[in-house]
Structure 1
Amino acid sequence: MTETDPRQNQPPAQQSLEWHAGDMPYSLEFGDHFYCRTEGRLECGHVFLAGNRLPARWNAGGAFTIGELGFGTGLNFCETWRQWKQAQVSNGRLHFVSFERFPMRADEIDRALSHWPEIAAERQALVGTWSNSPGGRIDIDFNTVRLTVVCGTALDGVSQCRESFDAWYLDGFAPSRNPDMWSSVLMQAVFDRTVRGGTFATYAAAGFARRNLAAAGFAVERLPGFAGKREMLRGDKA
């Protein structure tokens, strides 16, 4: 079931895209690709799932909430959902909450994710319930997995959200191209809405992003990045 908050009537901002190599979206606003050109799906596994110690943390069962800055094509959601199903979590419930300023249309998501046959089932389910004019707060229930996408600026969305988060995927465009997504005030809002023992992971390793995460209160560590990238960041809330 898909629900859009009727109180939010303003249409979302639309992003100008180019398509490289047929199915690789490129943002003209931010001058950057949406994910690693080498293999975006495997990057998700290396950075966001492994960086948050997933799926091992799901073994305890119960409810688990992931927050994401930047829904983009939905690749991280679909790969996470695929791994959740493979993990066969007993008595588990996953809530994936993403904050996205420029929501893509259903046909754009379908075009981008068609690159990966491994997530074909998840892509088809997502696209089949997604609107070509998404906006507001969107809730889609997929049995043991619930997707929420909050359309608008990340700072407004995170500051006003009612959820508490066990893990974060910090996946905005590169800090040099989209510094607002890595600001000290947003990183503080992320920290404040993270449960004790919660985590974050990100492909970014820029000095100011690392300093803002540490200043917010996270214990930050650097790990080897994906596909030859020297570093990535992960951290915990003690």
Structure 2
Amino acid sequence: MNTTQCLMNPFYQDCYFSDYDGQAESFYIFIEGNHLPRRLRESETLHIGETGFGTGLNLLSLLSCVLTDPSHLISIKYSSLEKYPLTTERIKELLHPFEKTLGTNLTLYLTYWSSFYESLTPGWNRCVWEFPSVQLDYNLYVGDARDWCREIEPRAVDAWFLDGHSPDKNPEIWSPSVLQSVYDKTAAGGTLASFTASGIVKSPLREAGFFIKRKKGFGAKRHMIQGTKS
């Protein structure tokens, strides 16, 4: 099996992340794209929203830039969506290339996920996970994007990771109604970042009220987008 086949989500016929360097891609697009290294240093609480949890690599990228400073404990609420949750074995297989760089956080995450996965039910699933210098209030919605987007509390999310495969592979998660709901659930001054710069994504986000700009994409990809709710 080649690398691309190994990374493939069979439900969407699309890769979970770049076969070039998925961790670097995640950090560049979602962490730096939302200015989170600075915001994590300056905040005591933060609410992250995500469309498409997948392997959890975006969450692990977020945790990797939290300073392990015992004097600065941060509480992160992480609200995500996944229609087809992965088994622990599949996640471990996909994230194997990043074992050394993710270190203890990956080990802890796989332990937590193993018991969490066994109890998953349709709708919201919640738990609290402890990582170095981070208390994580983890919330995963298992099901349809159109149902999920109606159930996040309004004006609460500080930063969005808009993921969930490309618009041509998974159009439902990029539908105007879902993107309008993303805006409605975003706190004033909240941000978003996404790997896609497709017009069918940019236009609904702008119509919803986000200020959207393009940025150089990761690797060979020409563009990505960043957004702010003013």
Give the TM-score of the pair, scaled to structure 1: 0.86
Q: Are residues 1:135 and 2:121 paired?
A: yes
Residues 1:31 and 1:145: Cα distance change in structure 2 (over 3 Å): same
Corresponding pairs, count: 220
Q: Which moved more, 1:112-121 or 1:209-218?
A: 112-121
Structure 2 counterpart of 1:50:
32
For residue 141 of structure 1, what is the amino acid of its counterpart?
Answer: V
- Could you say what secondary structure the match of 1:95 adopts? strand
Q: Report the equivalent of 2:217.
A: 225
Q: 1:191 aligns with which of 180, 183, 186?
A: 183
After TM superposition, list the pairs within 5 Å mapping 1:1-238 onto structure 2.
20-21=2-3, 24-86=6-68, 90-116=72-98, 117-130=100-113, 131-133=116-118, 134-136=120-122, 137-143=124-130, 144-162=135-153, 164-238=156-230
| Aligned partners of 1:68 and 1:97 also within 8 Å | yes
TM (norm. structure 2) is: 0.88
Taking a change above 3 Å as real, the CA distance of residues 84 and 146 of structure 1, as seen in their structure-2 partners, is: farther
Structure 2 residue aligned with 1:15: none
Determine the C-alpha separation between the residues in 2 that align with 1:106 and 1:221.
36
Distance in structure 1 (CA, Å) of the matches to 2:2 and 2:54: 16
- CA gap of 1:48–1:160, structure 2 versus 1, over 3 A, is same
- Matched to 2:189, the amino acid is G
Structure 1: distance between partners of 2:148 and 2:31: 23
Assess if the C-alpha contact under 8 Å between 1:61 and 1:89 holds in 2.
Answer: no
Q: CA separation in 1, counterparts of 2:4 and 2:102?
A: 18
CA–CA separation in structure 1 for the residues paired with 2:182 and 2:148: 11
Structure 2: unaligned runs, 5 residues or longer: none
CA deviation vs aligned residue, 1:76-102 (integer Å, no higher than 9, x gap): 111111212457782421111111111
Which residue type is aligned with residue 168 of structure 1?
Answer: W
CA RMSD of aligned residues (A): 2.0
Inter-partner Cα distance in structure 2 for 1:32 and 1:51? 22
Percent identical pairs in the alignment equals: 28
Change (3 A) 1:135 1:112: farther
Q: Is the 8 A contact 1:191 1:216 kept in 2?
A: yes
- Partner SS for 2:32: helix
Q: Deviations over 1:54-86 (max 9, x none)?
A: 110122222100001000011111111121245
Q: Secondary structure at the match of 1:29?
A: coil
For residue 190 of structure 1, report the CA deviation from its aligned partner. 0.3
